[in-house]
């Protein structure tokens, strides 16, 4: 009986998170209410509060549920392969996964375009931006390694290249999330990334 109760609780939590993603995407996080989430999930408002103390906590649960696979892709940045290849493979894997997952795209759209990080969401901003800091450091380390291996074009600064690649990734992500160019990026993303990396290679 206890196991059944726990399974039911986990199923309810998952249903609430899925409903929150849909509501946040449709209405924006700041305009959404937990009442609307409860209605979309088919549960009571009390059930939502049983699992989440406030909307910011629910927002972070949505982020964790639908973007955790992208956080794990950072493991590609420590792979034992030529450093520029590692960066290229990370970017290819990142955008291939994004273009193949509607729920993930909607979640990134919520994070980047449909949430104002004020009041209770101010602390959530640190959680959102922390992975970018880690990725930037990994990019810089790999570009520095490429320079030491004489694989990076002479005169290119590893930190500036890392910042440029992070800006490239963010810009590409926003272009995909706009919805107007998704099909173009789906067709050409591999060539776009290859061209970006080719500018750095000797």
DSSP line for 45-72: HHHHHHH-SSHHHHHHHHHHHHHHHHHH
Range of the domain at 44: 1-52
Task: Kindly state whether residues 81 and 124 are assigned to the same domain.
Answer: yes
Q: CA distances (Å), 120 to each of 58, 71, 104, 117, 194, in order? A: 12, 24, 23, 8, 41
The separation between CA 62 and the C-alpha centre of its own chain, rounded to angstroms, equals: 11
Question: What are the pLDDT digits (tens) for 120-159?
Answer: 898 899 889 988 999 999 999 999 999 999 999 999 999 9
What is the tally of helices (H) and strands (E) in the chain? 9, 0
Task: Please tell me what DSSP assigns to residue 158.
Answer: H
Q: 174-198: per-residue pLDDT in tens?
A: 999 988 788 899 999 999 999 999 9
pLDDT digit string, tens, across residues 31-81: 999 999 999 999 999 999 999 999 999 999 999 999 998 989 999 998 778
Total structural domains in the chain? 2
Whether residues 64 and 158 fall in one domain: yes
Contact 114, 25 (CB under 8 A): yes
Same domain, 128 and 155: yes
Q: Which of 161, 173, 103 lies closest to 136 in space, CA to CA?
A: 161
93 and 167 assigned to the same domain? yes
Rounded CA-CA distance 108/173 in Å is: 9
What is the radius of gyration, based on Cα positions, of the chain?
20
Residues 132 and 32 in one domain: no
Which CATH number characterizes residue 15's domain?
1.10.10.60
Distances (CA, A) of 7 to 13, 36, 59: 10, 24, 22
| Torsion of the alpha carbons at 25, 29, 35 and 40, rounded to the nearest 10 | 10
Tokens of residue 127, six digits: 């959680």
In this structure, the answer to whether residues 122 and 162 fall within a common structural domain is yes
Same domain, 120 and 178: yes
Question: Quick check: 84 pLDDT over 60?
Answer: yes
Q: What is the pLDDT of residue 1?
A: 47
Q: For 99, phi and psi rounded to 5 degrees?
A: -70, -20
Supply 41's token pair: 């999930």
The reported pLDDT for the residue numbered 3 is 63
pLDDT at 191: 98
Tokens 């059930």 correspond to what residue? Answer: 47
What CATH number corresponds to the domain at position 194?
A: 1.10.357.10
| Per-residue model confidence (pLDDT) at position 2 | 55
Q: What is the number of alpha carbons within 13 Å of residue 156 lying toward its C-beta? A: 24
- 19 and 110 housed in the same domain: no
pTM (2 decimals)? 0.90
């Amino acid at each position: 009986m206890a196991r059944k109760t726990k399974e039911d609780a986990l199923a309810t939590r998952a249903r609430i998170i899925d409903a929150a993603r849909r509501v946040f995407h449709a209405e924006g996080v700041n305009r959404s209410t937990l009442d609307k989430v409860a209605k979309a999930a088919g549960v009571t408002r009390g059930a939502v509060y049983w699992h989440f103390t406030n909307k910011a906590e629910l927002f972070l649960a949505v982020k964790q549920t639908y973007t955790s696979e992208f956080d794990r892709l950072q493991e590609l940045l420590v792979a034992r392969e030529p450093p520029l290849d590692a960066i290229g493979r990370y970017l290819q894997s990142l955008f291939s996964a994004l273009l193949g997952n509607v729920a993930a795209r909607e979640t990134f759209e919520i994070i980047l375009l449909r949430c104002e990080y004020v009041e209770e969401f101010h602390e959530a901003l640190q959680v959102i931006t922390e992975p970018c800091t880690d990725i930037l450091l990994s990019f810089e380390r790999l570009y520095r390694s490429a320079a030491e291996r004489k694989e990076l074009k002479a005169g290119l600064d590893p930190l500036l290249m890392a910042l440029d690649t992070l800006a490239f990734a963010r810009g590409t992500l926003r272009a995909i999330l706009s919805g107007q160019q998704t099909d173009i990026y789906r067709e050409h993303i591999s060539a776009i990334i290859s061209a970006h990396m080719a500018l750095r290679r000797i």
